[in-house]
Amino acid sequence: MKRIALSLLLVCGVAMAGEANATDANATAGAADAGKGKALYAKCAGCHGADGGQKALGKSEVIKGWDAAKVEEALKGYKAGTRNVHGMGGVMKGQVAAMSDEDIKALAAYIATLK
């Protein structure tokens, strides 16, 4: 009986260790995305501010505080040429035209972290 209890403990221990590893892997993937988003944001900072707190060219809304879905939707609109809120959608189209959906996602995730 003791033996069974002991091996059960062992099995649980191994299972929990496995889970912990999986969580670590997820955290690393998230961090990699944020790192990519941060790198992509470098070219946005000139107009929107390093922390997203600036009205770009005195025209755009302040994007600091936007959630990722809202940023993603806006960027996809500019890329498609369908978004033009302040008459300067063309400026933004040039910024995101060459970006993949994955780039836009990573960028949006990073912007959502700006405080």
Q: Report phi then psi at 83, rounded to 5.
A: -105, 135
- Selected from 6, 11, 85, 97, the binder of ligand HEC by CB under 6 A is 85
- Selected from 4, 22, 23, 43, the binder of ligand HEC by CB under 6 A is 43
Distance, in Å, from the CA atom of 68 to the CA atom of 112, rounded to the nearest integer, reads 5
Q: For residues 2 and 43, which CB has a smaller minimum distance to ligand HEC in the complex?
A: 43
Distance, in Å, from the CA atom of 15 to the CA atom of 51, rounded to the nearest integer, reads 42
Determine if 68 is a binding residue for ligand HEC (CB under 6 A). no
Q: In this chain, which residue has its C-beta nearest to ligand HEC?
A: 44
Q: How far is the CB of 114 from ligand HEC (least distance, A)?
A: 11
Q: How far is the CB of 30 from ligand HEC (least distance, A)?
A: 19
**The two structure tokens encoding residue 21:** 């590893």
Which residue has tokens 């990699």? 32
**The two structure tokens encoding residue 1:** 């009986």
Contacting residues toward ligand HEC, per CB under 6 A: 43-44, 46-48, 56-57, 59-61, 63, 71, 74-75, 83-89, 91-92, 95-96, 107
